[in-house]
Amino acid sequence: MKKIGILGGTFNPPHLGHLLIGNEVKHALGLDEVRLMPNAAPPHKTAPGDATAYQRLHMANLAAMDVEGLTVSSYEVERGGISYTYDTVRELIEIEPDVEFYFIIGGDMIDALPTWYRIEELVKLVKFVGVNRPGYEGQTEFPLTTVTIPQIDLSSTLIRNRFEEGDTVRFLLAPAVEAFIRKEGLYGSRKTEK
């Protein structure tokens, strides 16, 4: 049976922290692959200059293209609408019954697990994998495998702010992702940094 990790999120934009998480969990648990899975509708309001779902999907593909064992799933973007992990996992199991899925979440999400839609049923369908994140407890009473990863205090919000202010984003995201953001003029980016 194949073992596949799912790392969901907005990826607005995808950064090196996402790649680090995927790679570390893949190797720590001996997974066959980890799929980055951008959601269709971000939970927050979009700002002018934000990336569309398909731009976020494209950036995820650019970010993962040179990382062995890291792939991208367009499943939630193509389905559209708000994505509940329970619905996604249930549908993935129907499509790929020969796969054991591992759902990767950060410390902030671990703390919020009790509020997740149909969490009691979800934990019977998928194995949760939690990674440490600065500033969060990362504790839950739900079954969870913990993977300790090197800490990088990096967020998509920080990167969007850097683009808007014209500050450097070097070493924070894949060069192909940066080039795409500048070409598309996303996040108020300028063609070059300060």
pLDDT digits (tens, 9 = 90+) for 99-113: 999 999 988 888 889
| Strand locations in the chain (E) | 2-9, 33-38, 70-72, 99-106, 127-131, 145-147
pLDDT tens-digit readout, 142-152: 999 999 999 88
Taking CA atoms, 126 is separated from 32, 47, 112, in Å, by 16, 33, 17
pLDDT for 139 equals 82
For 129, the 3-state DSSP assignment is strand
Taking alpha carbons only, the member of 175, 25, 167, 165 closest to residue 101 is: 25
Which residues of the chain are under the pLDDT cut of 70? Answer: 42-48, 190-194
The pLDDT of residue 21: 95
For residue 6, the model assigns a pLDDT of: 98
User: What's the whole-model pTM score?
Assistant: 0.91
User: 136: number of CA atoms within 13 Å, CB side?
Assistant: 18
Delineate the domains of the chain, giving CATH numbers in brackets: 2-153 (3.40.50.620)
